[in-house]
Amino acid sequence: MRLPVMLKTAMLSFLASAPLSAGEINFVYPSEGASLPALTKTFIFGNISPATAPFTINGEKIEVYSNGGFIANLPVAGGDFIFKGQLDDGTTAQRHVTIKINPEPRPSTGTLSLEFTSGSADSEILAGDYIRISACGTPGREAVFSLGKLLDDSPLSEIPAGSGRYYGIYRVKPGDQGAEFYPSARFKAGLFARGAAARAKGKIRVLKAPVMVETSTDAVVLKDSPDGGSMMFLPKGVKLVSEGRSNGMRRIYLSPDLEGWVEDAKVLPVAGAPYPFGSVTETSTIRLKKTDFGSSASLGIYDKVPFMAEELENGLRLTLYYTNLHTNYVIYDDADTLVKNVSFRQVALNIAQIDLETAPGALWGYNVFYSTAAKGLQVDLRAAPKPALTWPKPLSGLTIVLDPGHSVYYKCPGDKRVPMKDIAYEAVPKDCSLDGAVGPMKTFEINVNLGIALKLKDSLSALGAEVRLTRNGDENVELADRPRLAKELGGDLFISLHNNAIGDGEDPFLQPRGFTVYYYQRHSRALADALHSAYLKNIALPDEGLRYGDYLVVRNTWMPAALIESAYMILPRQEELVNDPAFQEKLAGAAAEGILEYFGAPHRPEPKKENK
């Protein structure tokens, strides 16, 4: 049937004016209003619809994955910056961020300016220490600094010349003890002119002697430098000799050639004369006892001093500071088959060493703590568990603890935790952050980690293992509690499951990105190696290697522990993979295979053929 000409014309006019199906652009990261460090390029990711639509950001053509996810690494400029996305149908979206601006070189003319770049917090130092002054301001000036009554108008050097960066140094003298002052600096000027001046925010106090402090909580980390690596993990009540304080960290004297650093908030002042004038303790008898888990050694010692535990190929070495060796007896237990011998020595002034020797590779894990009951230092040593290693349940007799990484809250200032269910991701305040990664399709790492953990639990349970999880759903479990839970749950192995991301400013396309396996303790290396080998064999993603990593969840000393980063959440294809239940099964199968290899389980027997 033919339509009347007027009706046909009206319908064509309506269709021409009707809106086309609009596209959609969703920026996921960085978040709206985010503050980023000073960068020249950074990545941005999200998703579009339809996935096949040509897409640009700031005029650059962006590759889009088949599900609509994208990630791009784009140039940025300092200050307020806008990412402008556009589809070919005219759909647009913007993402506003702030890029930190590096300070511009200061002009040598105009208003004089000078400000400190050091001394932002109160500090304490001893005679012989150096006070280092740094300031920035108008270049090309004659600058001097003063330290209260100790020093007046000492020259500052401009390095390099014309840079506006000024430096000075002063070594504290014995006669300076007790002085307190705010460092100050100024530009010298003509006879009747006035130069710019500045004062440090932090006061310096010159101590008359070291002071004694003690750890105020458990698991206090002593570092080798203020921002360095971990040296010791100390329990509550350990005495430490503080030689100074700077930027929220205390400098700890351990020996004439060794110092450590600890957070000032993790220690409290304590009465008593500090070493070397006092507080040197002594060791006494060492007693060994067979236990259900292996062996326990108790060391008589009269005070809680810092100690370092070092795992050897054939046992454990303890190094005790502020300690003199006065052990005349070692009492063995005939039933103890783990510890073969105890040896000890005074390795330096007030430093004692004790070796608890085992057969090579026999030590499964350990725990060192001060025991109120034993009135001394207790060292628990674990012997290796003995799984069945027979099919169909080769892992019978083992307890394996799985840790689905991260928790379902946003981290906000003041250690505040806001449950994710209370605030949509798009509405999170810019001073709060997600605990874990997010992908272009807004997949949250916490959910993927749990999905993989549940699949791995099924795989390991089918092989006979008792499997426990640090979290089974949406409960919040603090990071520091996870290794503790692994011990309380009776774990023989601890595996933390994660998926990866990168830091602002890194190039996501700079190198192939895929899976990584981390370990920390010596006794965990073989487990991590077996897991990595199984991933290498079964997971078709780039291999980023087996790595040592100073992560809290793999510092576990009581059992072998490893952390697996299976894939990169921020890469669209890998985000899609880790959301796929079949791929999660594959990851779980690879981890289970690695655990079987680690224990030396025989290969699964072939099913017997039935005679016809």
Give yes or no for a contact between 358 and 569, defined as CB atoms under 8 angstroms apart. Answer: no
Taking the CA atoms of residue 546, residue 548, residue 553 and residue 555 in that order, the dihedral angle to the nearest 10 degrees is 140
Asked if 42 and 76 touch (Cβ cutoff 8 Å), the reply is yes
Domain with CATH 2.60.40.3500 in the chain: 281-383
CATH code of the domain occupying 114-206 = 2.60.40.10
Tell me the CA distances in angstroms from 153 to 138, 145, 148, one per residue in order. Answer: 18, 5, 10
More confident residue, 593 or 273: 593
399-599 fold: Aminopeptidase (3.40.630)
Give 191's pLDDT tier (boundaries 50, 70, 90).
low
Return the C-alpha torsion angle 200, 206, 207, 208, nearest 10. -170
Average pLDDT taken over every residue of the chain: 92
| Lowest mean pLDDT across 147-151, 173-177, 262-266, 273-277 | 273-277
3-state secondary structure at position 582: helix
Q: Which pLDDT band, with edges at 50, 70 and 90, does 611 fall under?
A: low
Residue 474: Cβ-neighbour burial (10 angstroms; 0-12, 13-18, 19+): middle
Rounded CA-CA distance 41/62 in Å is 15
Q: Which of 176-190, 268-282, 409-423 has the lowest mean pLDDT?
A: 268-282
Using one digit for the tens of pLDDT, what is the confidence trace for 539-578? Answer: 999 999 999 999 999 998 999 999 999 999 999 999 999 9
Length of the chain: 612
Tokens of 531: 């897991």
The Cα 290–Cα 339 span in angstroms is: 9
Region 20-25: mean pLDDT is 74
Where in the sequence of the chain do the CATH 3.40.630.40 domains occur?
399-599
CATH 2.30.30.40 residue ranges of the chain are 211-269
d(CA 525, CA 544): 16
Pick one of 2.60.120.1130, 3.90.850.10, 3.90.700.10, 2.60.40.10 as the CATH number of 24-99.
2.60.40.10
Selection from 278, 119, 257, 273 nearest residue 184 by Cα: 119
pLDDT digits (tens, 9 = 90+) for 390-406: 999 999 999 999 999 99
Name the CATH code of domain 281-383 (choices 3.40.630.10, 2.60.40.3500, 3.30.465.10, 2.40.50.140). Answer: 2.60.40.3500
Q: Which of 99-108, 345-354, 460-469, 521-530 has the lowest mean pLDDT?
A: 99-108
Q: Name the one residue in this structure whose structure tokens are 């510092």.
A: 555
The residue written with tokens 């099964």 in the block is 585
This prediction has a pTM of: 0.89
What CATH number is given for 211-269 in this structure?
2.30.30.40
Average pLDDT over residues 131-139: 94
Q: Where in the chain is the domain with CATH 2.60.40.10?
A: 24-99, 114-206
Question: With 70 as the cut, is the pLDDT of residue 376 above it?
Answer: yes
